Amino acid sequence: MSASALPFTLSASPAARLLRDRLILFAIVIGAWESLGLLGVDPIWVSAPSLIAERLWSLALAGDLWRHASRTITEAGLGLALAFAVGVPIGIAMATYKYANSVAEPLVLGLYSLPRVALAPLFIIWFGIDLFSKVMMAFSTVLFVFMLNVHEGLKTVDRDLVDLFRTMRARRGFITRRVLLPWIVPWMIAGLRLGVGLSLIGAVVGELIGASAGLGWYIERSAGHLDTTGVFTGLVTLMAIAMVGNAAVAALDQRFSGWRNP
Amino acid sequence: MDGFERASQGVTLTPPKVAVRGLDISFPGQEGAPVTVLEGLDLELAAGEFLAIVGPSGCGKSTLLRVVSGLLAPSGGQVLVDGVAVTAPPPQVGFMFQRDTLLPWASVFDNIAVGAELAGRSKAVIARRVPELIAFLRLTGFERNLPHQLSGGMRQRVALGRLLAYEPELYLMDEPFGALDSQTKTVMGRELLRVWATHRRSVIFVTHDIEEAVTLADRVVVLSQRPGRIRLDLPITLPRPRDGRALRGTPEFGALCSEVWAALDLAPA
Ligand SMILES: Nc1ncnc2c1ncn2[C@@H]1O[C@H](COP(=O)(O)OP(=O)(O)O)[C@@H](O)[C@H]1O
Ligand SMILES: [Mg+2]
């Protein structure tokens, strides 16, 4: 009946077991991908993990891996930070000025539904071919996530809790700092979780359209040479960056949202 | 004439702590017609008095407390606290809800300390006073716990601790122990009486538990079905200090409870 009676005696803890199973899944995917070549699929279509590893190694030695990756991370990171800094106050304003929000809502949702990809050429014209246009691409992709998340979070604030502080004659600023802002921290973290992936998408789309460095640019250039290994190397690197970002957000969540998950 | 009667008993020689004068409350209804919740309500609370209010659910008890605390503006009439008309939350009024309204991310200590902070107490005073309250409310050992790690009774004790840390002159309590099991409720009532006996603050205590009302209060007011009017205003002259368990068997206690029951039953269903 007890856990030790099960055949999984190696798993010391649930966390260790989870890690082990994740590594197994990873190995299966890599193995399946590699064996496509053995089954006769031409690597020109799907490349292969061994080819990608080789390419990563040579790019890393030449310093190119870090140059492209850091460029894309910078663009996405700045865009994400800017979207946070602008989106959170707008979300708070949307919740505070309800009528103004009702007036602007159709327009805001309309803008939200615009495919941001279509903005990329415009942003290149406006903000140039360098870093800034990609930052703005990442920013515009993530902005609405923070606005809408913070707005939603504020809608769920416990009215009685706010009223209780009002009966104790707490000032508006006190209620904002001590009740409303802590209340929406989990919603901000949820915004970050979506924002990690979206900001990378924004930055890479911008790089695909026009750039001189970055993983998007590397992918685009490789595709131009029918270098599928190059394309997959860029994609795998992007994925690794997103996974590290997600892990960081999960750590934040663990630390700051614990009160929500009894 | 009500005033004369009371003055002769020596209760209202000082101005009343709370005076409710011809209070009307109505809310916009479904089809344009406003819903009247309270109509022409007159009620006085003497300083240091413990008043319990009972009444059918939906008769406007919570609404009355919200008006007294300055959260809700009356549709007509007025409420005076210490002789001043209430237009915003008046000073030194502490509120306690049935639902625990603690900061879910803050520890027991911090949830209590915020009351002292809002009362304008210095850091040094807070550091001394909060542990005293924690000991008094038998929360020792849980200072660092978050609300979701506590039982319902403990959470309400933290809410009571915050109220005490705020040091209000007037306690407004809206079914504060209503969600607790009867044993915990009895213990909490005893703790509240202990506080009240030492500080003699004024209390308006809303409850749907008639025995609780009679055990705790100096006076029980029964409100009718909506629109809420006063059905019965019953002084409870049982000697203090009171022991809820001992009282329960006595004929005096039983008679008072029956009287309240009768007034409640009068309310048309
Ligand atoms: N903000 C509001 N808008 C409309 N109706 C309300 C509002 N607050 C309370 N009411 C109505 O007023 C009546 C009295 O409510 P309440 O004071 O909460 O009753 P209770 O005596 O149970 O505490 C109820 O019928 C309720 O639906
Ligand atoms: Mg109520």
Tens digit of each residue's pLDDT (9 = 90 or more) over B104-135: 999 999 999 999 999 999 999 999 999 999 99
Residue ranges of the alpha helices (H) in chain B?
Answer: 2-9, 61-68, 108-118, 123-136, 152-166, 182-199, 210-216, 244-248, 251-266
> Model confidence over A9-21: pLDDT tens digits?
554 688 899 999 9
Which alpha helices (H) appear in chain A, and where do they start and end? 14-38, 43-46, 49-62, 64-96, 98-113, 120-127, 131-155, 159-167, 172-175, 181-209, 215-224, 228-256
Number of domains into which chain B is organized: 1
CB contact under 8 A, A166 and B172: no
CB A123 within 8 A of CB A133: yes
Q: Which among A156, A159, A169 is the top mutation candidate for probing chain B, defined by the most B β-carbons within 10 Å of its own β-carbon?
A: A169
CATH number, domain with residue B215? 3.40.50.300
Determine the 3-state secondary structure of B12 from DSSP.
coil
Query: How far is it, in rounded angstroms, from Cα A34 to Cα A52?
Result: 10
Q: What is the pLDDT of residue B5?
A: 46
pLDDT band at A8 (very low <50, low <70, confident <90, very high): low
DSSP-derived pairing of the beta strands B76-81 and B84-85: antiparallel
More confident residue, B121 or B99: B121
Quick: pLDDT tens for B131-151: 999 999 999 999 999 999 999
Q: Which of A41, A12, A11 is nearest to A24 (CA)?
A: A11
pLDDT in the model for residue A3:
45
- Residue B31 in this model has a pLDDT that exceeds 60: yes
Domain ranges of chain A: 52-260
| Chain A nearest-CA residue for B92 | A168
Looking at the domain A52-260, which fold is it? MetI-like fold (1.10.3720)
The pLDDT of B60-82, averaged and rounded, is 95
pLDDT of A7:
53
Mean pLDDT of A175-202: 95
pLDDT digits (tens, 9 = 90+) for B10-24: 554 578 999 999 999
* Beta strands at B18-27 and B76-81: parallel, antiparallel or unpaired: antiparallel
Structure tokens at B250: 């006595």
Tell me, rounded to whole angstroms, the distance of Cα B187 from its chain centroid.
16
B20 part of a folded domain: no
Q: What percent of chain B has pLDDT over 90?
A: 72
Residue B4 confidence (pLDDT) above 80: no
Determine whether B97 is exposed, middle or buried from the number of CB atoms within 10 Å of its CB (0-12, 13-18, 19+).
buried
A6 falls in which pLDDT band (50, 70, 90)? low
Please name the member of B89, B103, B149 whose beta carbon is closest to the beta carbon of A167: B89
Res. A262: pLDDT tops 80: no
For residues A64 and A67, give the distance between their C-alpha atoms in angstroms, rounded to a whole number. 5
Numbered residues of chain B with Cβ closer than 8 Å to any chain A Cβ: 66, 69-71, 89, 91, 93-95, 97, 99, 101, 103-105, 114-115, 118-119, 146-149, 166, 172
- At B173, the pLDDT band (50, 70, 90 cuts) reads very high
ipTM: 0.89
- Determine, yes or no, domain membership for B16: no
Question: In the β-sheet with B93-96, what is the strand arrangement from edge to edge?
Answer: B93-96, B170-174, B202-206, B50-54, B219-223, B230-235
Residue B109, in any domain of the structure: yes
Domain that holds residue B178: 48-71+87-264
| Residue closest to A234 by CA, chosen among A257, A254, A256, A211 | A211
- CB of B250 sitting under 6 A from ligand 1: no
pLDDT over 70 for what percent of chain B? 93
Residue B2 lies in a domain: no
